[in-house]
Amino acid sequence: MRFVSYWQDSATPFDSPRKGPVEGRFDVAIIGGGFTGLAAARRLAKGGATVVVLEAGRVGGGASGRNGGHINNGLAHSYLAAKAEFGTDKAVALYRAFDDAVDTVERLVTEEGIDCAFRRCGKLKLASKREHFDSIARNFVALNAEADPETALLGADELKGEIGSPGFHGAMLSRKAAMMHMGRFVTGLADTAKRAGAVIFEDAAVIARTREAGRHRLTTARGAVLADQVLIATGAYTSGPFAALRRRIIPVGSFLIATRPLTQAEVEATVPGDRTYVTSMNIGNYFRLSPDRRLIFGGRARFSARVDQRSDAKSGAVLQASLARIFPHLADVGIDYCWGGLVDMTQDRYPRAGMLDGLHYAMGYSGHGTHMSVHMGEVMADILLGGEDRNPFRGLAWPALPLYSGTPWFLPAVGLWYRLQDKIR
Does a structural domain hold residue 73?
yes
Helix and strand element counts for the chain (H, E): 11, 19
Q: What is the pLDDT of residue 313?
A: 87
Does a structural domain hold residue 410?
yes
- What does the alpha-carbon distance between residue 194 and residue 108 come to, in Å, rounded to a whole number? 15
CATH number at residue 179: 3.50.50.60
pLDDT in tens, 240-261: 999 999 999 999 988 999 999 9
Q: What is the pLDDT of residue 301?
A: 60
Does a structural domain hold residue 394?
yes
Does a structural domain hold residue 421?
no
Count of structural domains, the chain: 1
pLDDT in tens, 13-71: 999 999 999 999 999 999 999 999 999 999 999 999 999 999 999 999 999 999 999 99
Does a structural domain hold residue 424?
no
- What does the alpha-carbon distance between residue 253 and residue 166 come to, in Å, rounded to a whole number? 29
- What does the alpha-carbon distance between residue 335 and residue 207 come to, in Å, rounded to a whole number? 38
pLDDT band at residue 308 using 50, 70 and 90 as cut-offs: confident
pLDDT cut 90: percent of the chain above it: 88
| 355 and 361 Cβ atoms separated by less than 8 Å | yes
Does a structural domain hold residue 185?
yes
Q: In Å, how far are 54, 197, 219, 323, 373 from 38, measured between CA atoms?
A: 10, 12, 20, 34, 10
Structural domain containing residue 110:
6-416
Does a structural domain hold residue 153?
yes
